[in-house]
Chain A
Amino acid sequence: MRSTFRWLEVAFWLVLVAGYVLWPGKLPLASQVLIAGLFALSYDLVLGYAGILSLGHAAYFGVGAYTAGLLAAHGWGEPISGLMVAGLVAALVGFVTSPLVVRGTDLTRLMITTGLGLLLFELANRLGTITGGVDGLQGVEMQPLLGALRFDIYGRTAYGYVLVVVFVLFLAARRLVRSPYGLSLRGIRANPGRMRAIGCRVDLHLAAIYTFAAAYAGVAGALLTQTTQFVGLDVLSFGRSAELLVMLIVGGAGLLYGGFIGAAVFMIAHHVLSSLDPVYWQFWLGVCLIAIVLVGRDGILGAGRRLLTLRRRRPVTVTAS
């Protein structure tokens, strides 16, 4: 039996398509939310499904962002191929760094990922002649999408482009978490020792998801570069990794959609609150985090599910044969 889309999921994506009519003046912000959502989805695979505690996920976002930016700044402004190259480069960096991350305890993972993130930030900062350093990468110029659709100032092309890419990647992630491999990840998160005792090569599984998630993060970074035609050093910052954690937790980890919900809430709240006073924003962000861990961290989606008295995880439905 093929797992079918449920009506809530259909509604979710239909609302996003209807965004053209629903929030025509806010399309650039909506694109940013979708990109952040994709980034959070990538982080969800690492943290929510595989249980790897990382505070350096911005490294892969930044690698993707700079790859796409450098390609475009040096004349390769074709968006789709640029996106793919960015995803591949980020995956490569993820693959190379994965052996350092997957072994060890929460604490060593936390420190290694933080260290790697800072390392890449400093690298980009020091290689100012290539990356533009603190001034950011200038001269990113994108060619029309599919050779026909120009990136307009209202962000219409960009929104459609982002939405399609995010949807396609989401579908693949959705298949992944429902596959035997996805089941293995849930097993590893719950009980890695027992997984080894049933013959699972835990490190291999974790390295694979880490690499895969790095590719997603890279694509998200590249989308940001291509739709804003600029790369700033902050794509690699520690703050971005920390905010990512907040987004995913606010939305709900391990539920696929949590990252999107969290990104939307986070970015809209940021938009509203920091226009009042940036200090407010940070204060309430902190208070929210503390409150979330105190009352239980299921996030918005988790709370919604409980309200609907749905079971937290659907058991595998295997048809009788």
Chain B
Amino acid sequence: MASLLGVLFDGLAYGMLLFLMSVGLSVTLGLMNFVNLAHGAFAMLGGYVCVVLMQRWGVPFLGALLLAFFASAVAGVVLERLLYRHFYRRSHLDQVLLTIGLVFVAIAIATWLFGSQQQPLRLPPILSGQWTLVGVDLNVYRCFLLAVGAVLAFALTVVLERTRFGAAVRASVDDARVAEALGIRVSLVFQLTFAVGCGLAGLGGALGIEVLGLDPTFPLKYIVYFLLVVAVGGTGSLKGPLLAALLLGVADVAGKYYLPQVGAFILYAIMVLLLIARPQGLVARA
């Protein structure tokens, strides 16, 4: 019983990370129908920014997290203006080629700057250690992850459903042409969404060092997970990716805990089966 709760807890924390890292991808995919396989590179960037700030400049963890968010968001805007925007109307094949190219370049640069080894991260003492709650050991850092994820998911929902900007995003996802005709500047909406999405990926990358590790192959290694979240969760909403990410997190942790010899096999099988059953994602748009 205790182990079941422990697995559930770890899985949910892991799922929150996946959600933070892929929510930007799923919203921008719904918005511009743009296949961004380089999304993981923004997460990796956030991770390295966090490590460098903490190790070389002694920036505290929380401050480093915040700066990781901004660094990735800025990188996202720059790349969007420089490269991505020329590709919204191009074929999916072109988008795949461009973003795979970016992934290779990102991996090479990260290797050149930091070497191919895993990056260490020293958590502040307040976030390390265990709590014991009714007989279940709770890792403090994972509690922190869950809390951050929940707060951000809530904040994103509020922004998306209660603000003018959120309404503009939703209208643009529904039908970009109609939104444009209603006076919404879809390209600006997209830039902002893209920046926030990249920023969240960067934040996720920084938060995830402790759980997922950080090395130059990160964008390639986890792109599959991001695609999984998007594929299962559907594009353009928040509920879908959140549900999908939590589900995948729990399934992955449970699979590795209870059936270590089968490992990732179950996850991929679930993905393929889900895609066959619900090609539009778990929470299909009307």
Q: Chain B at the A interface: mostly helix, strand, loop or mixed?
A: helix
Contact present for A126 and B262 (CB under 8 Å): yes
B268 with A245: CB separation less than 8 A = no
On whether the beta carbons of B100 and A289 are closer than 8 Å, the reply is yes
A29 at the interface (CB under 8 A from B): no
Interface residue? B102 (CB, 8 A): yes
How many chain B residues have a CB neighbour from A under 8 Å? 42
Contact B108 A106 (CB under 8 A): no
Closest B residue, CB atoms, query A119: B268
Given A279-B111, A279-B112, A290-B83, do A114 and B224 touch, yes or no (CB 8 Å)? yes
Distance in angstroms from A54 CB to nearest chain B CB is: 10
The yes or no answer to A292 lying at the interface (CB within 8 A) is yes
Question: At the interface, is chain A mostly helix, strand, loop or mixed?
Answer: helix
With A114-B224, A126-B263, A249-B97: A286-B272 Cβ-Cβ less than 8 Å:
no
B222 CB to nearest chain A CB (Å) = 12
Contact B272 A116 (CB under 8 A): yes
Give bound CA distance, A286 to B86, whole Å.
18
Q: Is the CB of B100 within 8 A of A245?
A: yes
B105 at the interface (CB under 8 A from A): yes
Residues of A within 8 Å of B106, CB to CB, are 286
B63 at the interface (CB under 8 A from A): no
Check if B279 sits within 8 Å of A104, measured CB to CB. Answer: yes
A192 to chain B, nearest CB (A): 14
Indicate whether A268 reaches chain B with its CB closer than 8 angstroms: no
Q: Which B positions have Cβ atoms within 8 angstroms of A?
A: 29, 35, 83, 86-87, 90-94, 96-98, 100-109, 111-112, 220, 224, 227, 230-231, 261-265, 268-269, 271-272, 275-276, 279
Q: List 19 A-B contacts (CB under 8 A).
A: A100-B272, A106-B92, A108-B231, A110-B92, A110-B96, A112-B275, A115-B231, A126-B262, A126-B263, A238-B220, A242-B100, A245-B97, A246-B100, A282-B104, A283-B104, A286-B101, A286-B102, A289-B97, A294-B86
Which positions in A face B, CB cutoff 8 Å?
47, 53, 55, 100, 103-104, 106-108, 110-112, 114-116, 118-119, 122-123, 125-126, 238-239, 242, 245-246, 249, 279-280, 282-283, 285-290, 292-294, 297
